[in-house]
């Protein structure tokens, strides 16, 4: 997911600006691992929807893709709870992290003394 990539970029920039003399937080040898992990997590989270959406023919003769969660899994879990969990984990928490990291970068740059 792109939001995960944005968080990884923010972590890398945070390390480069706030701790410029230390080794990078995300070393180049681990970059392929983080990219692969991003794709695996995104695929795993949204894989159930591949099985839950079914092509349904309505009375007007038109076909629509319709979410058939109970038919696909037989779970009594509410779909709205799933949407809320995905929204919190993949939207609100990453946006909060982005705000924290970029705020720390701005504070560091504003308080830095110019040499000379």
On the question of pLDDT at 76 being above 70, the answer is no
Structure confidence at residue 11 (pLDDT): 92
Residue 70 domain flag = no
Residue 35 domain flag = yes
77: confidence class by pLDDT, cuts 50, 70, 90:
low
Residue 55 domain flag = no
Residue 67, CA distances (Å) to 27, 54, 70, 104, 116 in order: 42, 6, 9, 42, 64
Residue 62 domain flag = no
On the question of pLDDT at 80 being above 80, the answer is no
Residue 63 domain flag = no
Domain hosting 17: range is 2-49+76-111
Residue 60 domain flag = no
CA distance 32 to 28: 8
Residue 54 domain flag = no
Domain count, the chain: 1
């Amino acid at each position: 997911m792109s939001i995960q990539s944005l968080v990884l970029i923010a972590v890398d920039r945070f390390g480069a600006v706030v701790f410029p003399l230390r080794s990078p937080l995300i070393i180049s040898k681990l970059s392929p691992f983080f990219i692969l992990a991003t794709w695996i997590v995104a695929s795993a989270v949204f894989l159930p929807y591949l099985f839950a959406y079914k092509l349904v023919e309505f009375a007007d003769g038109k076909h629509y893709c319709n979410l058939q969660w109970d038919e696909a899994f037989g779970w009594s879990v509410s779909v709205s709870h799933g949407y809320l969990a995905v929204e919190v984990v993949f939207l609100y928490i990453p946006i909060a992290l982005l705000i924290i990291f970029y705020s720390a970068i701005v504070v560091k740059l504003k308080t830095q003394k110019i040499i000379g």
